Amino acid sequence: MEMLIGGTWQSAASGRTEEVTSPFDGTVTGTVPVADAADVRAALDRAEAGAVTWRRTPAHERMRILLRAAELADERAEQTAQVISAEAGKTITEARGEASRSGDLIRLAAFEGTQLYGDALPLDANRGTGLDKIGFTVHQPSGIGKEGPRSAVAEMTDTKTVILHGRPW
Protein backbone atom coordinates (compact mmCIF):
# COMPACT_ATOMS: atom_id res chain seq x y z
CA MET A 1 0.00 0.00 0.00
CA GLU A 2 1.14 3.56 -0.62
CA MET A 3 0.16 7.03 0.59
CA LEU A 4 -1.96 9.30 -1.59
CA ILE A 5 -0.37 12.76 -1.53
CA GLY A 6 -1.47 15.42 -3.97
CA GLY A 7 -3.20 12.89 -6.23
CA THR A 8 -0.13 10.65 -6.49
CA TRP A 9 0.32 7.28 -4.81
CA GLN A 10 3.79 7.11 -3.27
CA SER A 11 5.93 5.39 -0.70
CA ALA A 12 7.19 7.19 2.39
CA ALA A 13 10.14 9.48 1.69
CA SER A 14 12.19 7.36 4.11
CA GLY A 15 11.13 4.13 2.43
CA ARG A 16 10.07 2.76 5.84
CA THR A 17 7.05 0.48 6.07
CA GLU A 18 5.16 -1.20 8.87
CA GLU A 19 3.00 -4.30 9.02
CA VAL A 20 -0.63 -3.85 10.06
CA THR A 21 -1.85 -6.69 12.25
CA SER A 22 -5.34 -7.68 13.25
CA PRO A 23 -6.04 -7.09 16.94
CA PHE A 24 -8.35 -10.11 16.77
CA ASP A 25 -5.82 -12.78 15.89
CA GLY A 26 -2.53 -11.01 15.18
CA THR A 27 -2.41 -11.92 11.49
CA VAL A 28 -0.74 -9.45 9.15
CA THR A 29 -3.43 -7.67 7.13
CA GLY A 30 -1.16 -5.42 5.09
CA THR A 31 1.92 -3.25 4.92
CA VAL A 32 1.75 0.54 5.04
CA PRO A 33 4.32 3.31 4.60
CA VAL A 34 5.56 5.06 7.75
CA ALA A 35 5.25 8.78 7.11
CA ASP A 36 7.82 11.13 8.55
CA ALA A 37 7.67 14.91 9.01
CA ALA A 38 8.59 15.52 5.35
CA ASP A 39 5.69 13.32 4.16
CA VAL A 40 3.26 15.07 6.49
CA ARG A 41 4.47 18.50 5.37
CA ALA A 42 4.11 17.50 1.69
CA ALA A 43 0.58 16.22 2.33
CA LEU A 44 -0.44 19.37 4.21
CA ASP A 45 1.04 21.66 1.54
CA ARG A 46 -0.80 19.84 -1.23
CA ALA A 47 -4.01 19.75 0.80
CA GLU A 48 -3.82 23.51 1.40
CA ALA A 49 -3.32 24.08 -2.34
CA GLY A 50 -6.27 21.80 -3.08
CA ALA A 51 -8.41 23.65 -0.55
CA VAL A 52 -7.95 26.86 -2.54
CA THR A 53 -9.29 25.14 -5.65
CA TRP A 54 -12.15 23.54 -3.69
CA ARG A 55 -13.08 26.91 -2.15
CA ARG A 56 -13.34 28.41 -5.66
CA THR A 57 -15.47 25.52 -6.93
CA PRO A 58 -19.18 26.47 -7.06
CA ALA A 59 -21.38 24.73 -4.47
CA HIS A 60 -23.39 22.85 -7.13
CA GLU A 61 -20.16 21.42 -8.59
CA ARG A 62 -18.87 20.42 -5.13
CA MET A 63 -22.23 18.71 -4.60
CA ARG A 64 -21.91 16.80 -7.88
CA ILE A 65 -18.40 15.64 -6.96
CA LEU A 66 -19.46 14.55 -3.47
CA LEU A 67 -22.52 12.72 -4.80
CA ARG A 68 -20.19 10.71 -7.06
CA ALA A 69 -17.96 10.03 -4.05
CA ALA A 70 -21.05 8.76 -2.17
CA GLU A 71 -21.83 6.39 -5.05
CA LEU A 72 -18.27 5.06 -4.93
CA ALA A 73 -18.47 4.64 -1.14
CA ASP A 74 -21.67 2.62 -1.59
CA GLU A 75 -20.11 0.49 -4.33
CA ARG A 76 -17.05 -0.19 -2.17
CA ALA A 77 -18.83 -0.63 1.17
CA GLU A 78 -18.11 -4.36 1.38
CA GLN A 79 -14.42 -3.85 0.57
CA THR A 80 -14.25 -1.07 3.17
CA ALA A 81 -15.99 -3.30 5.73
CA GLN A 82 -13.45 -6.06 5.15
CA VAL A 83 -10.59 -3.60 5.76
CA ILE A 84 -12.23 -2.18 8.90
CA SER A 85 -12.85 -5.68 10.26
CA ALA A 86 -9.30 -6.83 9.55
CA GLU A 87 -7.53 -3.72 10.83
CA ALA A 88 -9.74 -2.85 13.80
CA GLY A 89 -10.70 -6.36 14.86
CA LYS A 90 -14.40 -5.54 14.63
CA THR A 91 -16.96 -8.16 13.68
CA ILE A 92 -17.84 -8.08 10.00
CA THR A 93 -21.42 -7.14 10.92
CA GLU A 94 -20.24 -4.11 12.89
CA ALA A 95 -17.78 -3.14 10.14
CA ARG A 96 -20.52 -3.43 7.47
CA GLY A 97 -22.76 -1.15 9.49
CA GLU A 98 -19.98 1.40 9.77
CA ALA A 99 -19.01 1.18 6.09
CA SER A 100 -22.62 1.38 4.92
CA ARG A 101 -23.01 4.80 6.59
CA SER A 102 -20.22 6.36 4.52
CA GLY A 103 -22.29 7.05 1.40
CA ASP A 104 -25.12 8.59 3.43
CA LEU A 105 -22.76 10.83 5.38
CA ILE A 106 -21.09 12.04 2.17
CA ARG A 107 -24.53 12.72 0.63
CA LEU A 108 -25.44 14.74 3.72
CA ALA A 109 -22.25 16.78 3.31
CA ALA A 110 -23.09 17.31 -0.38
CA PHE A 111 -26.53 18.65 0.50
CA GLU A 112 -25.37 20.78 3.43
CA GLY A 113 -22.69 22.38 1.27
CA THR A 114 -25.39 23.93 -0.90
CA GLN A 115 -27.12 25.41 2.16
CA LEU A 116 -24.32 27.77 3.17
CA TYR A 117 -26.22 31.01 3.07
CA GLY A 118 -24.78 34.13 4.65
CA ASP A 119 -26.32 36.23 7.41
CA ALA A 120 -27.17 39.91 7.42
CA LEU A 121 -26.18 41.60 10.69
CA PRO A 122 -27.10 45.13 11.80
CA LEU A 123 -23.97 47.16 12.41
CA ASP A 124 -25.56 50.08 14.27
CA ALA A 125 -24.65 48.43 17.58
CA ASN A 126 -20.99 49.19 16.84
CA ARG A 127 -19.90 52.70 17.71
CA GLY A 128 -18.97 54.74 14.66
CA THR A 129 -20.73 52.65 12.00
CA GLY A 130 -23.90 54.75 11.86
CA LEU A 131 -27.50 53.77 11.30
CA ASP A 132 -28.81 51.76 8.38
CA LYS A 133 -25.59 49.81 7.91
CA ILE A 134 -25.50 46.04 7.69
CA GLY A 135 -22.75 43.47 7.45
CA PHE A 136 -23.07 40.29 5.43
CA THR A 137 -21.36 37.01 6.28
CA VAL A 138 -20.60 34.25 3.80
CA HIS A 139 -19.80 30.65 4.72
CA GLN A 140 -17.03 29.04 2.68
CA PRO A 141 -15.21 25.71 2.79
CA SER A 142 -12.81 25.95 5.71
CA GLY A 143 -9.78 24.22 4.23
CA ILE A 144 -8.03 21.10 5.40
CA GLY A 145 -9.21 19.24 8.49
CA LYS A 146 -6.56 18.99 11.16
CA GLU A 147 -8.05 16.55 13.64
CA GLY A 148 -6.71 13.94 15.95
CA PRO A 149 -6.86 10.24 15.12
CA ARG A 150 -10.21 8.54 14.63
CA SER A 151 -11.27 5.02 15.43
CA ALA A 152 -11.90 3.80 11.92
CA VAL A 153 -11.20 4.45 8.26
CA ALA A 154 -14.76 5.32 7.22
CA GLU A 155 -15.31 7.73 10.12
CA MET A 156 -12.10 9.60 9.39
CA THR A 157 -12.91 9.99 5.71
CA ASP A 158 -16.48 11.13 6.29
CA THR A 159 -15.64 13.62 9.02
CA LYS A 160 -12.96 15.28 6.94
CA THR A 161 -15.23 15.38 3.90
CA VAL A 162 -17.79 17.31 5.89
CA ILE A 163 -15.15 19.67 7.25
CA LEU A 164 -13.63 20.24 3.84
CA HIS A 165 -17.02 20.90 2.31
CA GLY A 166 -17.40 23.84 4.63
CA ARG A 167 -20.17 23.08 7.09
CA PRO A 168 -19.28 24.98 10.28
CA TRP A 169 -20.03 22.23 12.86
CATH number at residue 66: 3.40.605.10
Q: Are residues 120 and 74 in the same domain?
A: yes
Confidence of residue 165 (pLDDT cuts 50, 70, 90): very low
CA distances for 126 relative to 25, 131, 137, angstroms: 64, 10, 16
Same domain, 50 and 117: no
pLDDT tens-digit profile of 3-46?
999 989 999 999 999 999 988 889 999 999 999 999 999 999 99
Distances (CA, A) of 138 to 4, 99, 159, 166: 32, 33, 22, 11
CA distance 62 to 39: 27
Specify whether 38 is located in the same domain as 63. no
33 and 103 in a single domain? The answer is no
0.85 cut: is pTM over it?
Answer: no
Encode pLDDT of 138-159 as tens digits: 766 666 765 544 434 444 444 4
